Structure 1
Amino acid sequence: MAVSARLLSTLGLKGAVVSLTAQFEAATGIRIDADFAPTLVLLPRLRAGEAADVVILTREGLDELVREGLVVAESQADLARSFVGIAVKAGAPHPDIATPSALRATLLVARSVAYSRLGASGVFFAQLLEHLEIASEINAKATIISSGFTAERLVSGEADLAVQQISELKQVPGVEIIGPVPRELQRPAVFSAARMASAQCPTDADRLLRFLASPEVASVLRDTGLEP
C-alpha cells in the first residue's frame, strides 16, 4: 500500500487520528502518512512550504492559513472541541480543582506544574495563571516543555501536576486525570481540518476529510477525550 496522502495534525488529536486513519486505511486502501506537533509548531513549517495534503489545527490556526490562501477554504470542517484538564501520577492523591479558588490553592501547593509553552493548552494556562494572579509563583517552579506530552513529566517525577488538553493527557500511560479545569475558566479549543491548496493528492485528501467529519467517528473522538 503506497503512501497516498500526508496529514499534519495538531498534537491534541493524535490519539483519535491514529485510530481513525487506521480505520480509513483498512476501508479504502489509501495509506496516510501522519505527523503530529502543536499548531504553533506546524504553522511555520507549512508556511515554509512543507508538503501536506490535509492539516488539522486549532480553529484559530486554520483561520490564519485560510487568510493566507494556503488551504482550500471550502474544504474546512470543524472536527472536535477539547477541554484542558489536570493529571497526576497514577496512585497519587487527587487534589481539589472543582472551583477556581480550589484550583488556585492546588496549584500553589504543588511542587511543580508541567505545561506546554507552545500548545493551545499552554497558551491558555499561561493566561489562566495571570487571571488567577499566581503567574510568578507557579512559573518559578513550573516544568515548561516546548512540545510533547506534559504528563510524561509526572511519570519521570519532575512534576506533581500536568496541564494539557484532556485528549493529550490520555495519551500517557501511568497517569490519572483528575478532571477538567473548571468550566467557567475554560475556553474550549476547536480543532478543524482542511485540504492544503498545494495538496498532491486532493481526491484522497477530500475523501479523508469527509471521513474525519462524519458522524461515524464520534465514538472514537469521545473515547480519546474529545467532544465531537
Structure 2
Amino acid sequence: MTLLAAGACASVAAHAADLRVMTSGGFTAAYQALGPDFTKQTGNTLDTILGPSMGKSPQAIPNRLARGESADVVIMVGYALDGLIKDGKVRPDSRVELADSRIGMVVRAGEPKPDIGSDDALRQTLLHAKSIAYSDSASGVYIKNEMFKKLGIEEQVAPKATMVPRIPVAGVVAKGEYEIGFQQVAELLPVPGVTFAGKVPEDVQSVTRYAAGIPVNAPHPREARALLQFLASPQAQATVEKTGLDPIAH
C-alpha cells in the first residue's frame, strides 16, 4: 500500500461514524445483508436496534424516540414514518422509499402445506385452522381489521386468532404454539422451523411500503444520509428482492 493510500485509509477511519439505526422487521433482513458493504465502502459502522414500526411495546420505534432515545436512521413502515415526520421527530427532507412488502403465511416444518392460492382456498384454510397467529405491526393490524372481514369469516376466526407482540410470528409457529402464522414475507423467510405456504392472494393482500428517514436529533446526519442513499440505490435492489421484498423503481 502506498503512503498516499495508507493516509487515505487512516483519514476514513479517523472520520468514520458509528451510526445508530432503528429498524423494524420487514426491511431488517435486507438491511443486515447490505450493511457490511456499506461499512466496507465508507468505514462507518452500524449499531442496530430492532423494534416494530408501531404498537404499544416499549421497543416500538416511535416509543423509543418519544422517550428521547437517539438515532441516526429509522427504517420502518412508510405511513408510520410519515407520522413521525408530522410530529416533528424526523426530518421531512430525509425520507426515502426502500421497498414494498407483501403478507405471507407459514406452517410448522413437517406439516402439510395448505393451499392459499385463491380467496376461497385461504378462507377454507383459515376456517379449518385450530389457531392463527399474526403480528402486532402493519400486516397484523390489516389482517385483524380488514382481511378477515374481506373473506367474510371475521366472527368465525376471531376466537382462535391471536396478535403476537414484538417477536417473529414464524418463531411461535415453529414451536408449535400456533398452527398457522401470518406476517410480511421478509419477516417469515429467515426463521427456521417453518414452511412458507405462499403469499396472500393479491385481491385480499396488503402491500406495505418501507421507508427510512433521519431523526431531527441525529448525531451524524451526513453519514446517515449516505446510508439512506446506499439502501435505496439500484445496486441494492437485487439483495432487497432476495429477502422477500419487492423493489421500488427509482
Q: Which amino acid aligns with 2:241?
A: R
Deviations 1:26-58 (A, max 9, x none): 222111111111100211221222110101111
| RMSD, aligned CA | 1.5
Partners in 2 of 1:91 and 1:12 — Cα distance?
A: 25
Partner of 1:81: 100
Q: 2:138 aligns with which of 116, 120, 139?
A: 120
Name the TM-score, length of structure 1 as normaliser.
0.94
> What SS does structure 2 have at the residue aligned with 1:140?
helix
**C-alpha contact 1:16 1:221 (8 A) present in aligned 2:** yes
User: 1:3: Cα distance to partner?
Assistant: 5.8
SS of match in other structure, 1:39: coil
Whether the 8 Å CA contact 1:37–1:148 is kept in 2: the answer is no
Relative to the length of structure 2, the TM-score reads 0.86
Q: CA deviation at 1:218?
A: 0.6
Q: Which amino acid aligns with 1:11?
A: G
Q: Distance in 1 between matches of 2:127 and 2:104?
A: 17
Helix, strand or coil for the counterpart of 1:151? helix
Instruction: Return structure 1 stretches of 4+ with deviation > 3 angstroms.
Output: none
Tell me the equivalent position of 2:181: 162
Tell me how far 1:211 sits from its aligned partner: 0.4
**Aligned twin of 2:222:** 203
Distance in 2, Cα, partners of 1:174 & 1:166: 15
Asked if the contact 2:17–2:223 (Cα under 8 Å) also holds between the matched residues in 1, the reply is no
In structure 2, what is the equivalent of residue 65 of structure 1? 84
* Greater CA drift, 9-18 or 40-49: 40-49
Map of 1:6 onto structure 2: 20
Alignment of 1:30-179 (within 5 A): 30-40=44-54, 41-116=60-135, 118-126=136-144, 127-179=146-198
Structure 1 position 5, deviation (Å):
0.8
Q: Which has the larger radius of gyration?
A: 2
Report the CA distance between 1:191 and its aligned residue.
Answer: 0.3
How far 1:137 moved relative to its partner? 2.7
Gaps of 5+ in 1: none
Structure 2 residues not aligned, in runs of 5+: 1-12, 55-59
